[in-house]
């Protein structure tokens, strides 16, 4: 019998035990291992494709194909590998990134879009450094205008407005943080063709750095080197404005 041939002779001796036929059970175990090796060879082939892939979306799609098999068939290490391979958030981010790149390239404004981010950041930093110090209850209003067809002639208008005036309402005072309790500390207020209005409260971010002892540079340098969320907010607004402008023409 094949099971006898693949089991050491001493384990094939017909002694009574509390389990049963040792060679037969050992043969079953080897059969399971053989099937697992075949399945894992397929997994290894896909993992190799993932390693060679340069497109994150394609790589993640390949990973998703083996995700359930790994998680269900290979115990805890399989689950850990499966979880490490598949990241829904990362996949969504990559998908959105690819859609934006395709849109900007098809409209020949990718380079202008990347440059616009730099121009926006420089304008905001310059304004903040020229208007120090700032009260925590001041809203920094940023209005970005541009030609919607070409994303050229970008202009950034900055102003500081008291929170009660900006939201045109009375706001409660938050004694915990010694400032007004505002609806949002950063956001987008208006998106139109060729115009975006964003806002944030820079002094709140500055105070947070101070509170946790992270402010190791001057305020001016803090504004210069920090990648604030307001920049991403502004670029998302510009992108949505461009999308709306193109859609209105179709």
Residues 6+ apart with CB under 8 A from 155: 144, 145, 146
pLDDT of 54 above 70: yes
Q: Please give the residue that has the higher pLDDT: either 67 or 41.
A: 41
* Tokens 């002892």 -> residue: 213
Alpha helices by DSSP H, listed for the chain, are 2-5, 22-52, 56-73, 75-85, 88-106, 110-130, 163-166, 202-211, 219-225, 229-249
Q: Supply the mean pLDDT for the chain.
A: 83
pLDDT of the residue at 231 = 93
Of the two residues 149 and 1, the one the predictor is more confident about is 149
pTM over 0.85: no
Residue given tokens 């990718």 in the structure block:
110
Mean per-residue pLDDT, 96-103: 92
Domain boundaries, the chain: 2-86, 108-249
């Amino acid at each position: 019998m094949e099971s006898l041939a693949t089991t050491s002779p001493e384990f094939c001796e017909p002694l009574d035990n509390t389990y049963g036929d040792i060679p037969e059970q050992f043969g079953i175990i080897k059969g399971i291992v053989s099937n697992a090796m075949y399945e894992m060879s397929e997994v290894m082939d896909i993992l190799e494709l993932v390693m060679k892939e340069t497109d994150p979306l394609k790589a993640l799609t390949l990973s998703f194909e083996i995700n359930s098999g790994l998680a269900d068939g290979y115990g805890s290490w399989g689950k850990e590998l499966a979880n490490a391979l598949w990241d829904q958030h990362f996949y969504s981010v990559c998908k959105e990134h690819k859609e934006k790149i395709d849109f900007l390239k098809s409209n020949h404004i990718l380079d202008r879009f990347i440059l616009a981010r730099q121009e926006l950041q420089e304008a905001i930093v310059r304004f903040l450094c020229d208007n120090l110090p700032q009260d925590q209850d001041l809203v920094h209003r940023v209005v970005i205008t541009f030609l919607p067809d070409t994303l050229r002639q970008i202009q950034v208008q900055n102003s500081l407005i008291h929170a009660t005036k900006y939201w045109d309402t009375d706001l409660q005072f938050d004694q915990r943080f010694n400032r007004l309790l505002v609806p949002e500390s950063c956001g987008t207020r208006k998106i139109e063709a060729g115009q975006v209005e964003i806002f944030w409260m820079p002094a709140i971010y500055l105070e947070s750095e101070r509170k946790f002892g992270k402010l190791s540079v001057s305020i001016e340098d803090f504004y210069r080197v920090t990648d604030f969320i307001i920049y991403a907010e502004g670029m998302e607004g510009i992108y949505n404005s461009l999308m709306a402008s193109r859609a209105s023409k179709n």
